[in-house]
Amino acid sequence: MLSLRTNVARSASEMDRIAPLWNEILKAQPHTLFQSFAWNRLAAEMFRDRSTPYVVWVESDAGAAIIPATMVHAGNRLELIGDALFDYRDALCAGDPELLQLAWQQVAACGKPLRVMSVKGPAAQRHWSDFPRSLFANAPRVDRSLINERGFRLEHSRLGRQIRRLQRLGVSLHIHAGSDSAAIRRLYECKRRHFAADSGNLFVDQRRCEFMVAAAALPESGCEVFTLENASGTLAAGLVSFRDGDIRRCYTIYFHPEWARHSPGIALLYEVTARSLGDGLSCDYMTGEYSYKLRLANASSPLYTVDLSARELAEIATTPQRVPRVA
Q: What is the per-residue DSSP string for 36-82? A: -HHHHHHHHHHTTTTEEEEEEEEEETTEEEEEEEEEETTTTEEEESS
Give the SS3 label for residue 20.
Answer: helix
Please enumerate in sequence order all residues whose Cβ is within 8 A of that of 260, keeping only pairs 6 or more positions apart, or say none: none
Q: What are the two backbone dihedrals, phi and then psi, of residue 175, each rounded to the nearest 5 degrees?
A: -125, 125
The alpha-helical segments, DSSP class H, found in 195-249 are 206-217
Tell me, yes or no, whether 151 and 285 share the same domain: yes
Tell me, yes or no, whether 17 and 51 share the same domain: yes
Tell me, yes or no, whether 148 and 289 share the same domain: yes
Contact 212, 178 (CB under 8 A): no
Of the pLDDT bands very low, low, confident and very high (cuts 50, 70, 90), residue 70 is very high
Query: Looking at residues 174-193, what average pLDDT do you find?
Result: 97
**Total domains present in the chain:** 2
Tell me, yes or no, whether 162 and 214 share the same domain: yes
| For residue 1, pLDDT beyond 90 | no
Tell me, yes or no, whether 112 and 244 share the same domain: no
What is the structure's pLDDT at 121?
86
Residue 203: which region, alpha, beta or left (left: phi > 0; alpha: psi -120 to 50)?
alpha
Percent above pLDDT 70 for the chain? 97
Cα(269)–Cα(253) distance, rounded to whole angstroms?
Answer: 8
Please enumerate in sequence order all residues whose Cβ is within 8 A of that of 142, keeping only pairs 6 or more positions apart, or say none: 152, 273, 276, 277, 282, 283, 285, 296, 297, 298, 299
Q: Could you tell me the CATH number of the domain that includes residue 308?
A: 3.40.630
**Element (DSSP H or E) covering residue 102:** helix 98-108
How deeply is 129 buried, as exposed, middle or buried, from its count of CB atoms within 10 A (0-12, 13-18, 19+)? Answer: middle
What is the structure's pLDDT at 135?
94
Query: Looking at residues 111-135, what average pLDDT do you find?
Result: 92
Tell me, yes or no, whether 134 and 243 share the same domain: no
Contact 248, 241 (CB under 8 A): yes
Residue 327 belongs to some domain of the structure: no
What is the structure's pLDDT at 32?
97
Residue 73 belongs to some domain of the structure: yes
What is the structure's pLDDT at 322?
46
The alpha-helical segments, DSSP class H, found in 118-156 are 121-127, 149-155
Tell me, yes or no, whether 15 and 72 share the same domain: yes
Q: Of residues 121 and 279, which shows the higher confidence score?
A: 279
Residue 133 belongs to some domain of the structure: yes
Of the pLDDT bands very low, low, confident and very high (cuts 50, 70, 90), residue 199 is confident
Name the residue range of residue 283's domain: 144-297
Tell me, yes or no, whether 150 and 288 share the same domain: yes
What is the structure's pLDDT at 51?
97
Tell me, yes or no, whether 118 and 149 share the same domain: no
What is the structure's pLDDT at 316?
95
Tell me, yes or no, whether 219 and 76 share the same domain: no
Tell me, yes or no, whether 154 and 36 share the same domain: no
Of the pLDDT bands very low, low, confident and very high (cuts 50, 70, 90), residue 129 is confident
The answer to whether the predicted template modeling score (pTM) of the entire model surpasses 0.75 is yes
What is the structure's pLDDT at 325?
43
What is the structure's pLDDT at 321?
46
Query: Looking at residues 138-157, what average pLDDT do you find?
Result: 98
User: In terms of DSSP bridges, do strands 63-72 and 92-95 run parallel, antiparallel, or are they unpaired?
Assistant: antiparallel
Q: Could you tell me the CATH number of the domain that includes residue 282?
A: 3.40.630.30
Tell me, yes or no, whether 165 and 127 share the same domain: no
User: In terms of DSSP bridges, do strands 282-284 and 247-255 run parallel, antiparallel, or are they unpaired?
Assistant: parallel
